[in-house]
Amino acid sequence: MRTTFLVLPLVVCVAGCGQSSDPIQANPELDAINNVVGLAADTDSDSWATLFVDGAAPADSTPYGGHIFTLPAEPNVNISGDSAEIEVLILTSLDEVDAEGFPVEQESTATWTAQKIGEKWRLKSAPLP
């Protein structure tokens, strides 16, 4: 009985005291960069330019719709001061379904750049493949 009371706090701490196993969520800079990258597909044309450093937003946001942009599970990001070079995973839904009826997605990658302005990351370049 006494052993149970000693082991229980240890089990609770081991289960709940660790850091996130997700390398993106565990790093505030990567998480912030991933957030701005993800917004590139969901931002309306009125807010499009706010994702980018001044003057860097592509004139037409239309090609960015219909995609999902995210950092890969094992992110390839090079942060140097207030600049970052980012490998972005681009998921595009095709007009096909697989054998189980799920939409088929095409994966590609592109290298984007970002710059930290104040406390926020903004895209500097976001080329599509």
Which of 10 and 73 is assigned the larger pLDDT?
Answer: 73
pLDDT band at 32 (very low <50, low <70, confident <90, very high): very high
Q: What's the CATH architecture for 23-125?
A: Roll (3.10)
Which of 103 and 80 is assigned the larger pLDDT?
Answer: 80
Classified as helix, coil or strand, 105 is: strand
User: Residues 30-67, buried b or exposed e (16+ Cβ, 10 A)?
Assistant: bbbbbebbebbbebeeeebbebbbeeebbeebeebeeb
Q: pLDDT, tens digit, for every residue of 42-61?
A: 878 788 999 999 999 999 99
Reference 42, options 22, 70, 23; nearest CA is 70
Beta bridge partners of 93: 105
All structural domains of the chain with their residue ranges: 23-125
pTM: 0.77
Reference 124, options 75, 88, 76, 74; nearest CA is 88
